[in-house]
């Protein structure tokens, strides 16, 4: 039986939680479950920053999420309010806020908590990392 999931990633990019979320998402897809969205919030916003540059002996979690997005078309949503507070913006928000640059990684988009709540209400399972 296929279930509908929503994942919320609160864990920073350099934590085990962020990598575990990616592994879990891949396993869900492998087992043919549906993922309505993956929502990045609080310290999890660091997973959406295009300027993250891990050391050569570390896993590039941003690149893993980007590949996951390309392969699955699962929406990767970065909370707009939490992103702005942590200096992660897309081109549109950068212009609106009169910022010189944007740094939301390709494959992610900004969205609000309302979108997360709606997706969660339609899911069978909500899993937090």
The residues that are catalytic are: 79
User: Which residue, chain included where needed, has tokens 């909500």?
Assistant: 126
DSSP result, 68-128: HHHHH---EEEEHHHHHHTT---HHHHHHTT-S---BPTTEEEE-HHHHHHHHHT-SEEEE
Indicate the DSSP class of residue 6.
E
CB of 123 closer than 8 Å to CB of 5: yes
Q: Which two tokens stand for residue 25?
A: 């998402």
């Amino acid at each position: 039986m296929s279930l509908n999931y929503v994942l919320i990633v609160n864990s920073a990019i350099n934590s085990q939680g962020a990598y575990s979320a990616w592994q879990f998402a891949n396993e869900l897809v492998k087992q043919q479950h549906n993922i309505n969205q993956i929502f990045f919030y609080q310290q999890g916003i660091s997973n959406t920053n295009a300027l993250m540059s891990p050391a050569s002996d570390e896993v590039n979690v941003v690149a893993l999420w980007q590949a996951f997005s390309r392969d699955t078309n699962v929406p990767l949503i970065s909370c707009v309010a939490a992103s702005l507070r942590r200096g992660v913006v897309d081109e549109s928000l950068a212009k609106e806020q009169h910022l010189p640059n944007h740094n939301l990684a390709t494959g992610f988009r900004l969205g609000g908590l309302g979108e997360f709540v709606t997706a969660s209400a339609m899911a069978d399972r909500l899993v937090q990392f």
